[in-house]
Amino acid sequence: MRVILAEDSTLLREGLVRLLAEEGHEVIAATADAEALLTAVAADPPDVAVVDVRMPPTHTDEGLRAALDIRRRHPGVGVLVLSQYVEKRYATDLLSTHSRGVGYLLKDRVAQVQEFLDALERVGSGGAAFDPEVVRQLLARTTHVDPLNDLTARERDVLAEMAQGHTNLAIAGRLHVSRSAVEKHINAIFDKLRLPRDGGYSRRVLAVLRYLGS
Amino acid sequence: MTRFVRHGAGGVRLAVGVALGALTSTAELVFLLLTGPVLLVRRTPPHFVTAAARRLVRIERTRLTALLGAGENGEAGDRRVLAYLAVRWPVGLLGGGVLFLLLYGAVTTVAVLAGWLYGGRPDGIAPTWPILVYLFAAATVLLFLDLAGLAAVAAFERGLVRRFLGPDERALMRARIAELSASRAGIVAAVDAERRRIERDLHDGLQQRLVALGMLLGRARRNESRDLLRQAHEESRRALEELRDIAWRVYPAALDDLGLRDALATVAERCAVPVRVHCDLPDRPIKQVETAAYFTVREAVTNAAKHSGATLIDVSILRRGTLVIVMITDDGAGGADPGGGGLSGLARRVAALDGRFRVSSPAGGPTVVTAELPCA
């Protein structure tokens, strides 16, 4: 995959460049701030832009704004946002405008090399990737009218896996059940949450997340 | 003997002060009689009246501070000035009366004694022993009463000046409350800024290192590479150093255990620019003062090393009376901004302890940062 990085910590930037190179990805550019990132993406659109939320000059949410910008201007480029904390608003910002090729990971997740690489692959191929922690927090909103309360424990597990952007096949593997069982659970979830049954898995994930984050 | 002379001089000064006070009160009485009608008609006194009143008050103040030992010098409004003159003149006349009695007594005593010495009989009284004793006792009592009266008039004058022209107690309190509110808000802001800084330190330093470490370990496992493992090991050492560093920046434990001098020695060692520390305190100041002094030095030294291009930084800490005085001088380019993040935080910290904080940093240097911390 062709990747552009934006991360202000030299240490991490270098580490990411090496890791991606070892995995056979091509790092087109590695930048240290949002402006350089936008310039690099415009010059040569990659498959994925990996973007740190906090970057100079203000160290607040430059990276997120740049990511939204990229999604708006270059719909073909996937964005994988790395954040210091789980910020629900960031997740919902990313989700509310785009339904494909977005990811939102906790920065620490990068240390789980395999999970990070999987997320990168999913986002790069037009899917979605959400940090388990993000999903956990979004799912934790339980109110008395929350339709999630209707879900069985198993359905919740499936929903959480799905929300992270995993395919049905992957979910079956992760939960040690058959693929058809997973499909049955998913249909049950959609019925309970009154979601339309169409589109690819990422759209369904995003619909679920959007529903939770609204 | 000298004490006696000093007392005598004080007595003379007092008498002169009261005598002048009697004269000025006549002038004030005339002034009030002339301007009274104007003051009754006009709600706000016209300018020429207040100007004259202020001139009279200036004379009074000079007299009081020079001769009667009054000290207060506040800024009084027009109304208070006029009120003072209105209340003050009878006291002046009273002082005149007391002085007159003193003089009258002295003249009478001299006249009677002289009469007797020249063999006369003043008022037809012969100087027999009982008469002498009786007159001496009466004269002593009267003299004492008169001198006490003089002292009382002077005290009365001092009290009036304090009451009418001294700094207004309520104004003082208001100013103090405003000052306290400001310094309280300032300290809250300083604490918040400090917390933000710590959060940034943790994230931009330590967390990055730990993530990088995790990444190295992940890569090492995937590639089964001893070299990556070695790098990860190095990285873990650096992460620990970073942690120690952040903890030290948050609060140096040495400050509590070993005191200011040792904690500052560490600051000097860690600074890229040579730092000379001169710490001359007879005993350890209270904790808040010690902490404030420490952070003042550290922040100022960091600033100087970062921005001024100094080649030498001098730190001196000494005790002067109830103050601990902290002074940081550098030979850099000057132009430090007292409103900048670090320095304004220090100013707030010092203000919260009722201290004074000054930055002098002309273009071309030298920069001098001074904090005076009350340590009573």
Which CATH number belongs to the domain containing residue A82 in this structure? 3.40.50.2300
pLDDT of residue B112: 86
B33 and B134 both lie in a single domain? yes
A16 and A122 both lie in a single domain? yes
Which chain B residue has the Cα nearest residue A55? B204
Choose one of B218, B250, B282: the last residue of a domain: B250
Looking at per-residue pLDDT, the higher value among B193 and A191 belongs to B193
**3 state DSSP class of B276:** strand
Pick the closest to residue A163 from A143, A140, A191 (CA basis).
A140
Question: Domain range spanning residue B365?
Answer: 259-374
A180 occurs within a structural domain: yes
Q: How far is B75 from chain A (nearest CA, A)?
A: 48
A117 and A14 both lie in a single domain? yes
B43 and B162 both lie in a single domain? yes
Q: Do A110 and B214 touch (CB under 8 A)?
A: yes
- Nearest CB to A15; choose among B203, B207, B216: B216
Q: How far is CA B56 from CA A3, B20, B27, B66, B74, in A?
A: 87, 13, 9, 15, 16
B162 and B182 both lie in a single domain? no
Q: Do B214 and A114 touch (CB under 8 A)?
A: no
> Based on the structure, what is the number of domains in chain A?
2
A86 and A192 both lie in a single domain? no
**Is residue A199's pLDDT more than 50?**
no
Phi-psi region of B281 (alpha: psi -120 to 50; beta: other; left: phi over 0): beta
Angle between helices A113-124 and A10-22 (to 10 degrees): 70
Chain mean pLDDT for chain A = 84
pLDDT of residue A144: 45
pLDDT of residue A97: 64
Residue A30, strand partner residues: A5
Q: Is the pTM of this model over 0.85?
A: no
Choose one of A130, A155, A174: the last residue of a domain: A130
B53 and B116 both lie in a single domain? yes
- Nearest CB to B214; choose among A11, A84, A111: A111
Q: Which residues of B touch A12 (CB under 8 A)?
A: 208, 211-212, 215
In this structure, of A38-52, A90-104, B235-249, the range with the lowest mean pLDDT score is A90-104
E runs forming strands in A85-199: 102-106, 128-130
Q: Which residues of A touch B341 (CB under 8 A)?
A: none
**Is residue A76's pLDDT more than 70?**
yes
> Based on the structure, what is the number of domains in chain B?
3
Preferred mutation among B196, B208, B234 to probe A, highest tally of A CBs within 10 A: B208
B21 and B157 both lie in a single domain? yes
pLDDT of residue B116: 86
Q: And the tokens for B1? A: 């003997």
A86 occurs within a structural domain: yes
pLDDT of residue B164: 81
A116 and A204 both lie in a single domain? no
Q: And the tokens for B29? A: 């009485």
A137 occurs within a structural domain: no
How many other C-beta atoms are found inside a 10 Å radius of the C-beta of residue B159?
Answer: 13
The answer to whether residue A10 neighbours chain B at the CB level (below 8 Å) is no
- Nearest CB to B212; choose among A11, A54, A84: A11
B138 and B54 both lie in a single domain? yes
CATH number of the domain that B303 lies in? 3.30.565.10
Rounded to a whole number of angstroms, the CA Rg of chain B reads 36
Q: Do B219 and A22 touch (CB under 8 A)?
A: yes
Looking at per-residue pLDDT, the higher value among B313 and A152 belongs to B313
**Is residue A38's pLDDT more than 60?**
yes
B142 and B16 both lie in a single domain? yes
- Nearest CB to B218; choose among A54, A59, A112: A112
Q: Do B212 and A59 touch (CB under 8 A)?
A: no
**Is residue A145's pLDDT more than 60?**
no
- Nearest CB to A111; choose among B218, B222, B223: B218
A21 occurs within a structural domain: yes
The answer to whether residue A22 neighbours chain B at the CB level (below 8 Å) is yes
B143 and B223 both lie in a single domain? no
**Is residue A39's pLDDT more than 90?**
yes
Give the mean pLDDT per block of 10 residues along chain B (376 residues): 71 86 88 83 79 86 80 69 86 91 90 84 78 88 91 88 78 87 87 89 89 94 93 94 91 89 92 93 91 93 90 94 94 86 85 91 91 89
Q: And the tokens for B145? A: 């009463």
CATH number of the domain that A191 lies in? 1.10.10.10
Cis check for the bond before A57: say yes or no (omega within 30 of 0). yes
Mean per-residue pLDDT for A76-94? 85
| Cα three-residue angle A55-A58-A62, rounded to 5 degrees | 50
B156 and B86 both lie in a single domain? yes
pLDDT of residue B42: 76
A126 and A163 both lie in a single domain? no
Q: What distance in Å separates the CA atoms of residue B249 and residue B295, rounded to the nearest whole number?
A: 10
Choose one of A71, A103, A130: the last residue of a domain: A130
Which chain A residue has the Cα nearest residue B213? A111
pLDDT of residue B311: 93
Torsion, Cα A62 A67 A72 A74, to 10 degrees, reads: 130
A188 occurs within a structural domain: yes
Question: Domain range spanning residue A10?
Answer: 2-130
Choose one of A72, A104, A130: the last residue of a domain: A130
Q: What is the DSSP letter of A176?
A: T
Residues 6+ apart with CB under 8 A from A191: none
The pLDDT confidence band at residue A186, using thresholds 50, 70 and 90, is confident
Estimate to the nearest angstrom the gap between the alpha carbon of B249 and the chain centroid: 33
A136 occurs within a structural domain: no
A12 and A118 both lie in a single domain? yes
pLDDT of residue A56: 85
